[in-house]
């Protein structure tokens, strides 16, 4: 049973990675009662057009809370990160949400320095599975790699060991 008090602001890469891993975004929905997608992240997902990988899954997930306008970014976030990661961190801070879903290491580091809790696509899959969501981690990792999603050997070993 998901913890309904949980909210998360997510970046582009986890949305694409989870779609590659499972064919949908249901693991996010299983874990979090509120999944916020900054305007900038929605633009990144849609960048390749309607036929780009994952766009159909993203557009059909009506439960995602997509922000209607860009967020105002402070200079330190603008200069340290790409627009997607920066908008995830700033949106979480603006909304008073404690958790972000970011896969890139620099974005994760800046999020932690901003006082946020951080998870990523692998963390979402592992936590969802531990709470009863049906997913084969080895199969999910294989599908992610087939789609060109880079995972370090350290992350793969950690995920498989869980």
| 29 contacts 7 by C-beta, under 8 angstroms | no
Confidence of residue 3 (pLDDT cuts 50, 70, 90): very low
Domain annotation covers residue 1? no
Here the tokens at position 153 are 């050997």
Give the helix/strand (H/E) hosting 101: strand 99-101
Q: With respect to residue 2, please indicate whether it lies within any of the assigned structural domains.
A: no
Q: What is the CATH number of the domain that holds 141?
A: 3.40.50.1010
For 66-84, the pLDDT digits (tens) are 999 999 999 999 999 999 9
**Average pLDDT over every residue of 105-124:** 96
Q: Domain span at residue 84?
A: 7-161
Report whether 159 contacts 142 (CB < 8 A): no
Joined tokens for residue 57: 């899954």
pTM: 0.93
Q: What's the domain count of the chain?
A: 1
Q: Are strands 34-37 and 7-10 parallel, antiparallel or unpaired?
A: parallel
């Amino acid at each position: 049973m998901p913890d309904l008090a949980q909210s998360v602001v997510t970046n582009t890469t986890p949305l694409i990675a989870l779609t590659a891993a499972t064919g949908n975004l249901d693991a996010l929905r299983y874990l979090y009662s509120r999944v916020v997608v900054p305007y900038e992240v929605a633009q990144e997902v849609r960048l390749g057009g309607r036929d780009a990988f994952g766009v159909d899954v993203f557009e059909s997930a009506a439960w995602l809370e997509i922000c209607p306008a860009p967020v105002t970014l402070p200079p330190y976030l603008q200069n340290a990160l790409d627009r997607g990661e920066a908008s995830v961190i700033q949106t979480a801070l603006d909304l008073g949400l404690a958790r972000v879903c970011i896969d890139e290491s620099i974005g994760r580091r800046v999020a932690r320095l901003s006082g946020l809790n951080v998870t990523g696509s692998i963390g979402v899959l592992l936590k969802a599975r531990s709470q009863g969501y049906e997913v084969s981690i080895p199969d999910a990792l294989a599908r992610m790699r087939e789609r060109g999603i880079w995972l370090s050997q350290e992350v793969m070993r950690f995920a498989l060991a869980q």
